[in-house]
Amino acid sequence: MRILITDHVHEVFCEILEKHSFKVNIIKNISYEDLLSLISDFDGLIIRSNIHVDRNVILKAKKLKFIGRLGSGLDNIDVEFANKNKIICLNSPEGNRNSVAEQCIGMLLALLHKITKSNFEVKHNKWNRYENSGFELKGKTVGIIGFGNTGSAFAKKLSSFEVNIIAYDKYKSGFNSFFVKEVNLSDIQKEADIISLHIPLTEETFNFFNKNFINNCKKNFYLINTSRGKIVNTLDLYDALKTGKILGAALDVVEYESYNFKDLEKYPNFFKELINMPNVIITPHTCGLSDNSLYNMSLVLANKIVNIFGKN
């Protein structure tokens, strides 16, 4: 089988596939047009976030048996149309869940204790001790929405901080443990001091976190989003930050994220103001990226491919 890889993978990925007689071709940063012209020659396609596999690509892919996504999300693949064409879609969320969970903890602590704000001020010769006193995580109620790979990994990390962890997942139940209480969505909106989103981007979850969601929350709260930017309505988030309903936000993903992010003029004014708010932390979609996670994601995805399509 011939496999086309369009982005950076760990060398272990190719080693495993080649050991099982797969032929690997690597074309990093391939254009959409070149993908259309080449895809008919391949049995497998490996992507990250750089390529959108839509109907046009799938219709051209006459030999394609699988699409592998290095990472968790499948939102840049038309999964339904791929399945209709008997193409299996695979991902590797098991490989980067620990990296996501660790950064969630780091961003949350930085937000509560105003670490990034005070660090910025000190580097600009300001020593504001009392203005930068923070809030302890201990005793807070953390509501996790989505209890898959990253949501459950985040809960496990949180369990040592003496917090009350509640979790909701529309499509999963029975995950009660000694440190997590399974609840419904309204319970999270009623009880949570911190809400963390760990859900995929689908038609159902697009703008899931919006004005209506916020208004149904009883407490003022902090938001963490490490899933997908378009799950959050950015304008509604901005408005809630301005009123104080949302006390702060830690965002690894944003609605307007782009490889050309420096061209801020093309973005709405409220977004330009949001990214400069002192109670907002934004990282460039790095939660799932680490030296360890690249190896783990590559290993997980390669083994899935071999288990389904490999030869001994």
CB–CB of 39/60 below 8 Å?
yes
The span from the CA of 76 to the CA of 82, in Å, is 12
Active-site residue, selected from the candidate residues 69, 257, 265, 273: 257
228 in active site? yes
Q: Token match 């999963």: residue? A: 172
Active-site residue, selected from the candidate residues 10, 48, 228, 255: 228
Token pair in block for residue 104: 């969630």
The span from the CA of 58 to the CA of 169, in Å, is 31
End-to-end CA distance of the chain: 14
8 in active site? no
129 in active site? no
Looking at 40-161, which runs of residues are DSSP E strands? 44-47, 66-69, 88-91, 141-145
The span from the CA of 214 to the CA of 209, in Å, is 7
Sequence-distant (≥ 6) Cβ neighbours of residue 177 within 8 angstroms: none
Catalytic residues: 228, 257, 285
